[in-house]
Amino acid sequence: MENRTPDDGELYAIVYGTEDEPGREVEARGLNQGAALVQHGNDLDALGHELAALDALDGEVIDPERVEDVPARRVPRVIEHRDHDGRRGPRRGEAFERAVLPDWLTSRSALVGSTSWACRYYGKAGAFHGVRLPLYALRVAARSPWGAARITAAVWRWVADSEHRDARRALLTSGVTAEGYLRIREERRNQARGRAFVAGSGLAVLASGGVVAAQADPMTQAIAVAASLGVLGLVGRAKDGRITSRAMDKAEAPRLTADLIAAALTSLGLSSINGPAGKDPKAIRFLALVRDGAGFRADIDLPAGATAAEVMDRREKLASGLQRHESQVWPERDPEAHAGRLVLWVGDRPLSKARPAPWPLVKAGRTNVFTPIPLGVDHRGRKVTTTLMYASGVVGAVPRMGKTFSLRLIELAAALDPRVELHVFDMKGGADHLPLADVAHAFRAGDEPEDIAFILADLKALVAEMRRRYKVLRGLPREVCPESKVTDELAGRRELALHPIFLAIDETQIAFEHPDHGSAISDLVTDLVKRGPAAGIMVWCATQRPDAKSIPVGIKANAILRLCLKVSDHTANDMVLGTGAYSTGIRATMFSRSDLGTAWLAGEGDDPVIVRTSYVDADGAAAIAARARVARAAAGRLTGMAAGETPADLDLSSVLDHLIAAWPGTEPKVWADELAARLTEHLPGVYAGWTAQNVTTALKPYGIRAVQHNRVVDGRQVNKRAIARNDVLAALGNTIDTPHDDKED
């Protein structure tokens, strides 16, 4: 049997199971402004109430609290019991299960959203009515004569017992005996006398109240007059006359109804929707339209052939059809249903205008990279977290959408776990990542040759460290390390030095496309992304130009976590979110320029989610980094550059620097053997045993040749091979670093 559309005002239900043994599944149907409204659940009463409430609510005021007060508490009429096999419509368990507790009870941010909406709403309404109180008082006072007249008339009717006049007359004229007649008249007179006495006493009390009030102070008089006029005015109110004005402007946003949504869907210009909907208005099926957090959620089955992804791609048009700001309208695909199931969430306020959720760790708290860390909230106000350990990540977006802020947030989260060794490289060279310099083992901002050389050296050191870690893991007993990976417990054992390492590179395209070292850097990062996670190494790359060069294939294929803010086309979308993301409806192209910090997060959980990342400004970041530094210092985990060290493997100074350090400017040329002796004295660990030959050989790669130099020693002319200081200085000016070459000529 086809589900029929309910008649106006009708509320009916279909219960699955037999009459004797009703199942727990119920489908209730009502009519919402002409469109069928269907709810699924397992509580007939609750469903009926929900439907009735939706139907009865005034469109411009959708207040979750009022749902409870709606008088139309109706239980749907059960029109039919259905056998599960013979039934039409959605099958059992098909994504209609409702959470036991509503979102706003389980999610703090959703609660904050709903509460702030209620405060805003009532605050605005309170202020609106507050300034109009004098007007309302005048309106009430103007109706007081009517009130006085109504009260007088009512009292008169009561005293005269007008209600029973006709009955009395009929009795008196129906041939009653004289005795009966006299008794009726006597009773009537006694009743009238008694009532007149009561009315007279009431009047006397009022009059004496008036006399007392007349002798009271002006304030009491004013209150007495206002109260009397108020009571009289309210009693005398015109039947359909409003004393108060409307606090909300109806034109602000039309009520969200199934009709409005259907009209918006058909305005998208999609033939897959318009064709079937033109023939059958019920081709767009509403499975649910309910209040959800700080907005409304509609579950819709699009006509056969239409997909949710197509609608998502036209979010702007859909928002226009719903007469709402784009950032209020969030079409999504139901990941558990077919491609034509659209979940449309429409917020009470634009997300971009709402304040980003504060980061829970901004003032206090530590993290553990092995457990989820807070990232932000989704458009419905639910908390979104991610786990950093055993994963690398990619952040991509067009410029100025919040990519750097998001990456910095993740870096700060990593910094708040004192065990994590941070390596932060900002190729853009701005100040955004600078707060991390206080805690980072290695930090560099810029794209100068020395920055590139620094990164290269650091990456080489990290790859070497990764190898060492695998050796350590190999050597551990199976019961300590059963999966050959760094666990939370192993990461805390200092003697193993298996603490987590977090490497972040912002604007990777600059490093990966470097003409000389790009491919080496790209290879090293790819290696770390591929083999690093089990060894406790996490790599995060951010780029504003997501293409094959800025995200090499190896990284694209192996980075698990993806954070994609607004991108301009499907290629960039799939580059960040993974191949096929666009076609399955995960489209960061749908974000508008105002959706700052809003992204698709993929890789965390089964399905990608939308997240508005928490906003932490530069001062906030500096404060968090300072806190992280204190925690690290206390734990004895301040290492590398943060501890003021230059790690040996990152010591970029060369033999040239060492020569100049041991060579006063007053000597233009010095014999090579003498330089060897000075080097040995200056850095015995490096140069012990050096001869003139070692010096000349080491300087050859820099293009420095030895020259013959004459000096008088003990009155004798001595001629030996020497180095000119200017040559060394010139070499220092045009080179960044060249590895020591210890080979003899």
Ligand X SMILES: Nc1ncnc2c1ncn2[C@@H]1O[C@H](COP(=O)(O)OP(=O)(O)OP(=O)(O)O)[C@@H](O)[C@H]1O
Strand 22-32: give its sheet, edge to edge: 35-41, 22-32, 12-17, 77-82
Please tell me whether residue 596 binds ligand X under the rule CB under 6 A.
Answer: yes
Residue 646 assigned as binding residue: no
Residue with smallest beta-carbon separation from ligand X: 597
8 A C-beta contact, residue 563 and residue 392: no
Using CB under 6 A, pick the residue from 321, 402, 536, 620 that binds ligand X: 402
Using CB under 6 A, pick the residue from 361, 397, 481, 537 that binds ligand X: 397
With contacts defined by CB under 6 A, name the span among 396-404, 463-471, 574-582, 652-660 that binds ligand X. 396-404
Pairing of strands 12-17, 22-32: antiparallel
Residue 691 assigned as binding residue: no
Please tell me whether residue 640 binds ligand X under the rule CB under 6 A.
Answer: no
Partners of 722 in the beta sheet?
A: 671, 707
Q: Rounded to whole angstroms, how far apart are CA atoms 391 and 486?
A: 12
Q: How far is the CB of 405 from ligand X (least distance, A)?
A: 4
With contacts defined by CB under 6 A, name the span among 11-19, 140-148, 342-350, 397-405 that binds ligand X. 397-405
Residue 400 assigned as binding residue: yes
**Tokens in use for 414?**
């990593």
Please provide the size of the chain in residues. 745
Q: What share of the chain is helix, strand, coil (3-state, %, to 5)?
A: 45, 15, 40
How many residues touch ligand X (CB under 6 A)?
Answer: 15
Using CB under 6 A, pick the residue from 130, 134, 241, 399 that binds ligand X: 399
Residue 399 assigned as binding residue: yes
Q: How far is the CB of 336 from ligand X (least distance, A)?
A: 29
With contacts defined by CB under 6 A, name the span among 35-43, 237-245, 401-409, 697-705 that binds ligand X. 401-409
DSSP string covering 635-682: HT---GGGGT---GGG----HHHHHHHT--TT-SEEEHHHHHHHHHHH
- Nearer to ligand X (CB atom), residue 306 or residue 510: 510
Please tell me whether residue 405 binds ligand X under the rule CB under 6 A.
Answer: yes
8 A C-beta contact, residue 277 and residue 284: yes
Which secondary structure element, helix H or strand E, spans residue 505, and what is its range?
A: strand 501-506
Q: Rounded to whole angstroms, how far apart are CA atoms 264 and 269?
A: 10
Q: How far is the CB of 559 from ligand X (least distance, A)?
A: 18
Q: How far is the CB of 569 from ligand X (least distance, A)?
A: 17
Using CB under 6 A, pick the residue from 109, 307, 386, 404 that binds ligand X: 404
**Tokens in use for 159?**
């005293």
Binding flags for ligand X, 103-142, as an x/- string (CB under 6 A): ----------------------------------------
Using CB under 6 A, pick the residue from 30, 236, 356, 608 that binds ligand X: 356
Residue 398 assigned as binding residue: yes
Site for ligand X in 423-452 (CB under 6 A): 428
- Nearer to ligand X (CB atom), residue 421 or residue 506: 506
CB-count burial class (<10 Å; 0-12, 13-18, 19+) for 690: buried
**Tokens in use for 43?**
């509580």
Residue 312 assigned as binding residue: no
Site for ligand X in 662-681 (CB under 6 A): none
Q: Rounded to whole angstroms, how far apart are CA atoms 613 and 406?
A: 7
With contacts defined by CB under 6 A, name the span among 211-219, 395-403, 510-518, 661-669 that binds ligand X. 395-403
Rg, C-alpha atoms of the chain: 41
Task: Give the ranges where 683-724 is alpha helix by DSSP (H).
Answer: 684-687, 692-699
Q: How far is the CB of 397 from ligand X (least distance, A)?
A: 5
8 A C-beta contact, residue 300 and residue 342: yes
- Nearer to ligand X (CB atom), residue 39 or residue 544: 544
- Distances from the Cα of 535 to the Cαs of 464, 490, 494, 538, 679, in angstroms? 12, 11, 15, 9, 39
With contacts defined by CB under 6 A, name the span among 23-31, 57-65, 329-337, 392-400 that binds ligand X. 392-400
- Distances from the Cα of 583 to the Cαs of 22, 309, 313, 326, 608, in angstroms? 42, 7, 10, 22, 13
Helix, strand or coil, per DSSP, at residue 397 = coil
Q: How far is the CB of 591 from ligand X (least distance, A)?
A: 12
Q: How far is the CB of 428 from ligand X (least distance, A)?
A: 6
Using CB under 6 A, pick the residue from 315, 403, 629, 658 that binds ligand X: 403
With contacts defined by CB under 6 A, name the span among 52-60, 167-175, 393-401, 722-730 that binds ligand X. 393-401
Binding flags for ligand X, 530-559, as an x/- string (CB under 6 A): --------------x---------------
Please tell me whether residue 590 binds ligand X under the rule CB under 6 A.
Answer: no
Please tell me whether residue 354 binds ligand X under the rule CB under 6 A.
Answer: no
Q: Rounded to whole angstroms, how far apart are CA atoms 413 and 393?
A: 14
CA 224 centroid distance within chain? 54
Q: How far is the CB of 111 from ligand X (least distance, A)?
A: 20
* Residues 6+ positions from 245 with CB-CB distance below 8 Å: 128, 129, 132, 135
Residues at the binding site are 397-404
Residues at the binding site for ATP are 397-404
Binding site residues, ligand X, CB under 6 A = 356, 397, 399-405, 428, 544, 596-597, 613, 615
